[in-house]
């Protein structure tokens, strides 16, 4: 088998030069096959407060230039054991949320043919619904691990069924999630009412709050999550606002009291060996991201997700 094509050599081409792809990887059209594709969805028409996440994919790519090819915490060189490529951006209609959802769904199915895994850079959280639809078509109803400050299981906003606050309610209603293995992590802040929690519980979600992470520690949280997920096909969705504003100011709906980037990375690394089949990192809004703090966090999260998928690919070789 032909060895994977990896990133541009930073000893030859300075990190601030060269291709503007995720982690300076080859484009999808430059490789014969891809085990893992990183693709962007520049869409934020579903937001309820600050816009700007449509510029998130390019910002994350820019922030990923300093990523290096060996992941010591997971003991894997993801770009050497799997062919990882940047699939570019999925061009979606910014004026029609329904049309955008259909475009993302079709593109995700196209990008995951022949067992290819997809890591998506958002964009707002609306895009998780079509990504989950595609994942369920490939694998059946999937377990969901949702990192976020907010539940995102509300019914409507301003009468709209499809927004960044409703994707997981719609996903439960559509039967594309395994309701025995649904978890929110990092939830915090005020709600509209106690019914929000009652509805969420009825849908099958378990909640690990940001305070739980602080009090129990990452290892205990990982133990709880692994026990809930088991060997089911797992989709991971990360809203960058799960992090405290000190660690991720560049997002649309800030909430105080969030997780640190270290806590989130440790929890992700604790998922090694689970049946991860896809993931997204969403709600990065670069206009509010002073000093590129949010972009760097998002780039490292995406890198960890790619590394987890590469570990699975290595085990099946």
Q: Is 110 annotated as a binding residue?
A: no
- The reported pLDDT for the residue numbered 1 is 72
Q: Is 239 labelled a binding residue?
A: yes
Measured between alpha carbons, how far is 285 from 52 in angstroms, rounded to an integer? 5
DSSP state of 251: S
Q: Is 152 annotated as a binding residue?
A: yes
Q: In whole angstroms, what is the distance from residue 174 CA to residue 216 CA? A: 34
Look at the block and give the residue holding tokens 């560049």. 250
Buried b (16+ CB within 10 A) or exposed e, 163-180: bbbbbbbbbbeeebbbee
Task: List the helix and strand counts (H, then E) for the chain.
Answer: 10, 8
Q: State whether residue 142 is helix, strand or coil.
A: strand
Of the candidates 199, 198, 125, 191, the residue with the CA atom closest to the CA atom of residue 155 = 199
Per-residue pLDDT of the chain (317 residues; tens, 9 = 90+): 789 999 999 999 999 999 899 999 999 999 999 999 999 999 999 999 999 999 999 999 999 999 999 999 999 999 999 999 999 999 999 999 999 999 999 999 999 999 999 999 999 999 999 999 999 999 999 999 999 999 999 999 999 999 999 999 999 999 999 999 999 999 999 999 999 999 999 999 999 999 999 999 999 999 999 999 999 999 999 999 999 999 999 999 999 999 999 999 999 999 999 999 999 999 999 999 999 999 999 999 999 999 999 999 877 75
The C-alpha atoms of residue 95 and residue 6 are separated, in whole angstroms, by 37
Task: Give alpha helix (H) positions in 11-65.
Answer: 56-63
146 is in an annotated binding site: no
| Structural domains in the chain plus CATH codes | 22-316 (3.40.800.10)
Distance CA 194, CA 192 (A): 7
pLDDT of residue 314: 78
Question: Measured between alpha carbons, how far is 253 from 241 in angstroms, rounded to an integer?
Answer: 7
Handedness of CA 208, 209, 215, 217 (dihedral sign): positive
The DSSP 8-state label assigned to residue 190 in this structure reads -
pLDDT value of position 2? 84
293-316 helix and 261-269 helix, angle to the nearest 10 degrees: 10
Is residue 268 within 8 A of residue 305, CB to CB? The reply is yes
The three-class DSSP label of residue 179 is: strand
Cα–Cα dist 278/36, whole Å: 9
Q: Position of tokens 């640190």?
A: 260
> What tokens were used for 221?
């949280």
Q: Is 89 annotated as belonging to a binding site?
A: no
CA 228 – CA 119 distance, rounded (Å): 23
């Amino acid at each position: 088998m032909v060895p994977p094509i990896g990133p541009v050599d930073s000893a030859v081409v300075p990190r601030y030069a060269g291709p503007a792809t995720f982690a300076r990887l080859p484009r999808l059209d430059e490789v014969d096959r891809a085990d893992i594709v990183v693709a962007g969805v520049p869409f934020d028409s579903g937001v309820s407060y600050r816009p700007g996440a449509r510029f998130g994919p390019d910002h994350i790519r820019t922030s990923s230039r300093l990523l290096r090819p060996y992941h010591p915490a997971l003991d894997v060189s993801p770009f050497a054991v799997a062919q990882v490529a940047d699939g570019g951006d999925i061009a979606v209609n910014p004026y029609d949320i329904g049309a955008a959802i259909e475009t993302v769904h079709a593109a995700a199915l196209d990008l995951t043919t022949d067992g290819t895994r997809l890591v998506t850079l958002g964009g707002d959280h609306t895009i998780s619904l079509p990504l989950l639809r595609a994942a369920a078509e490939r694998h059946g109803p999937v377990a969901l691990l949702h990192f976020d400050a907010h539940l995102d299981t509300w019914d409507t906003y301003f009468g709209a069924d499809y927004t960044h606050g409703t994707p997981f309610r719609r996903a439960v209603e559509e039967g594309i999630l395994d309701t025995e293995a649904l978890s929110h992590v990092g939830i915090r802040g005020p709600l509209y009412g106690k019914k929000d929690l009652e509805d969420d519980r009825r849908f099958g979600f378990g909640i690990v709050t940001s305070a739980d992470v602080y009090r129990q520690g990452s290892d205990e949280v990982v133990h709880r999550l692994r026990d809930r997920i088991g060997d089911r096909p797992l989709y991971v969705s990360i809203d960058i606002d799960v992090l405290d504003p000190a660690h991720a100011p560049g997002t649309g709906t800030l909430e105080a009291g969030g997780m640190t980037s270290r806590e989130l990375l440790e929890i992700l690394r604790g998922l090694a060996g689970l049946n991860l089949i896809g993931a997204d990192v969403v709600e990065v809004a670069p206009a509010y991201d002073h000093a590129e703090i949010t972009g760097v966090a998002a780039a490292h999260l995406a890198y960890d997700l790619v590394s987890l998928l590469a570990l699975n690919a290595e085990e099946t070789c």
